């Protein structure tokens, strides 16, 4: 992935550009732009910048309860006594928590699956944190589970699997509404989204 044989003939700018372009969303041109920016920048900045990468990678671990990224054993959300304890929102990745928290509308607990079920990628239910979710349901007093997996084939499969798994238990199960994005245009909405939006139509 990184330094192979060919790299012996590359200079340090080329290696830097190659490494930067392996980051998600960064093409070769953006990588070159960032590399030349870094070369022009103050050395103290570079030091702080590389340190912040190593720092995050060293310090951040998964919360023992929900799986969210945290610097402590238990994450801020799980240890917050002001949050509702009887409702869990199940998400695929820790970054999904940040997005939901930004809305400010949810005040319950989270559970991070760290992935989704995907037979193509060889990821079954045992490879993601579903067992841990079941253990939490035994220990904690949960009345509602919101399944907030991505609206993709894998996300929907995962949601369906969890739904069937918990069917016998006396827990209210919900999932995020699918439909028109706010500010979107009916004319340009894809068929599947519009279909779900009609199926999930709300009373006025």
Residues that bind a second copy (CB under 8 A): 1-3, 11-13, 15-16, 19, 23-26, 30, 32-39, 41, 43, 45-46, 48-50, 52-57, 59-60, 69-71, 93-95, 98
Nearer to a second copy, 102 or 186 (CB): 102
For residues 65 and 112, which CB has a smaller minimum distance to a second copy in the complex? 112
- Largest interatomic CA distance in the chain: 67
Between 9 and 188, whose beta carbon lies closer to a second copy?
A: 9
Least distance (Å) between residue 72 CB and a second copy: 9
Query: Nearest approach, Cβ of 156 to a second copy (angstroms)?
Result: 22
Question: Which candidate, 82, 116, 88, 86, places its Cα nearest to that of 100?
Answer: 88
Minimum gap (Å) between residue 62 Cβ and a second copy? 10
Closer of 87 and 93 to a second copy (Cβ): 93
In the 3-class helix/strand/coil scheme, how is 127-155 assigned residue by residue?
HCCHHHHHHHHHHCCCCEEEECCCCCHHH
Least distance in angstroms from the C-beta of 155 to a second copy:
17
Place of tokens 């079954």: 124
Smallest gap from residue 34 Cβ to a second copy (A)? 5
Are the C-beta atoms of 68 and 92 separated by less than 8 Å?
Answer: no
How many alpha carbons lie under 13 Å from residue 173 in its C-beta half-sphere? 15
Find tokens 């928590």 and name the residue. Answer: 97
Q: Say how far apart CA 196 and CA 121 lie, in whole Å.
A: 27
């Amino acid at each position: 992935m990184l330094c192979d044989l060919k790299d012996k003939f590359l200079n340090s700018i080329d290696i830097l550009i190659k490494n930067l372009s392996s980051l998600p969303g960064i093409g070769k041109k953006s990588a070159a732009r960032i590399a030349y920016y870094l070369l022009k920048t103050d050395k103290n900045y570079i030091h702080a910048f590389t340190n912040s990468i190593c720092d995050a990678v060293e310090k951040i671990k998964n919360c023992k309860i929900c799986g969210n990224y945290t610097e402590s054993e238990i994450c801020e959300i799980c240890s917050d006594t002001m949050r509702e304890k009887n409702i869990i929102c199940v998400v695929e990745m820790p970054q999904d928590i940040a997005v939901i928290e930004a809305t400010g509308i949810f005040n319950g607990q989270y559970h991070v699956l760290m992935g989704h079920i995907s037979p193509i990628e060889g990821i079954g239910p045992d490879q993601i944190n579903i067992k841990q979710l079941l253990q939490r349901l035994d220990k904690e007093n949960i009345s509602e589970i919101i399944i907030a997996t991505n609206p993709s084939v894998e996300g929907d499969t995962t949601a369906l699997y969890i739904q069937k798994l918990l069917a016998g238990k006396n827990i209210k199960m919900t999932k995020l509404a699918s439909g028109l994005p706010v500010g979107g245009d009916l004319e340009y909405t894809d068929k599947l989204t519009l279909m779900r939006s009609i199926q999930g139509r709300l009373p006025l």
